Structure formats: structure tokens, C-alpha cells
Amino acid sequence: MKSASSTLSKRRKSLLNLTLSALFLAIGIVLPFFTGQIQQIGKMLLPMHIPVLLCGLICGWSYGAAVGAVLPILRSLLFGMPALYPNAVAMTVELMTYGLVVGFLFSHSRWQCVLSLYRSLIAAMLAGRVVWGITEIVLLGLGGTSFTWKAFIAGALLDAIPGIILQLALIPAVMVALNRAGLVKFRKEGKREKATAVSGSP
């Protein structure tokens, strides 16, 4: 009976994670339409990053990576934005890294709290931007175009400052609110269970 109950529970968690991942994917497709209405800084708010990061934190690293890998290509095919090559291809690798790193680090944090959230977010942002830069170098190199340090600093940091600020403010606030509402369960220090949310981690 215990084994059957455990199997059923895992299936329910997997189904919930899939449902939430589909929701985050839909948010990532729609959200740029709203931020695009904000002149000057609309694109700088990095709207597709937010649902991918939240998916990694709530559903787990594998779901976050999957949503990050699908979202830019799907949106490019549906609406032509971002441009498929090289933008959407580079963003696919970048967002996949965000979802993977933030989900993995947070789920393996000994004590899940706001501090561990920030550590996971910052590490994911750094990793994602480095991977994005390497991908741009490869893609543009294949097309006979160089990718300069100036372009990397502008694309990875300067143009992204509004989005970075928004992510660091919004995502921990959302996670804390979900934890207080009982929808996400932070693991306390000393407990070795892997689950970070009521939906479970993969």
C-alpha cells in the first residue's frame, strides 16, 4: 500500500509540475506583449526570463530548463519575435541555463530562505549571461560576424539592468508570498528532503 501511495503521489506531483510548466510557458509567450507597451525600457525588462526562473524554483530544475529551452523558439515561430537566428537560438541556451541553475541550486540549498533565493538567482543570472555570450560568439562566428566585448557588456549587463532589478525584486517577493500561502514549501535547515514546493522537485 505504501508503495502504491508513493507512486500515486509522485504521479500527481509530476502532473502538477507539467501543468505549472505549461502555465509558465504561456506566461512567457504573453508577457512580452505587456512589457512591450512600456516605451524605452520594455525590452530591457526581460519578460521571458521571469517565468523561466519561477518555473525552475517552483517545479524544479528539469522543468525550468525545459521551459527555457522551448519558450524563445516557440515565440519566434509564432510571432517572429525574437528573431530566430541568432537571437532566439542564443536565448534558448541562455534561458535553459537560467531554469536549470536556479532550480538545481535552490533545491539543493541546505536552508531555503530569501538569502538562498538570492544566491541561486544571482548564480543563474551570471551563468546564463556567460552561456549567452559564448553562444553568440559561436553563432555570429559561423556567420562571419565578430562578437565584441562591447556588445557582450551591453547585451549582458548595461541593457539588462532594468530586467535584473525587476527579477531580484519580484521573484523573491513572489516566492515568499507563495511560501506564506502554503503553495510553496521552503525546506528548513537540517531537513534533508529534496522537495522545495508542494508540487515537488524532480
Rg of the chain in Å (alpha carbons): 18
> What's the average model confidence in pLDDT over 122-132?
96
Enter the CATH code of domain 48-202: 1.10.1760.20
Q: What are the domain boundaries of the chain?
A: 48-202
Q: Confidence class of residue 31 from pLDDT cuts 50, 70 and 90?
A: very high
Q: How large is the greatest C-alpha to C-alpha distance in the chain, in angstroms?
A: 62
What is the predicted pLDDT for the residue at 2? 56
Percentage of residues of the chain with pLDDT beyond 90:
67
Q: Which residue has the higher pLDDT, 39 or 170?
A: 170
- The mean pLDDT of the chain is 88
Checking if the pLDDT of 56 tops 90, the result is yes
Per residue in 91-105, pLDDT (tens digit) is: 999 999 999 999 999
Distances (CA, A) of 49 to 25, 37, 41, 56: 11, 17, 15, 11
The whole-number average pLDDT for the span 26-54 is: 92
- Whether residue 199 is predicted with pLDDT greater than 70 in this model: the reply is no
Mean pLDDT of 128-145: 88
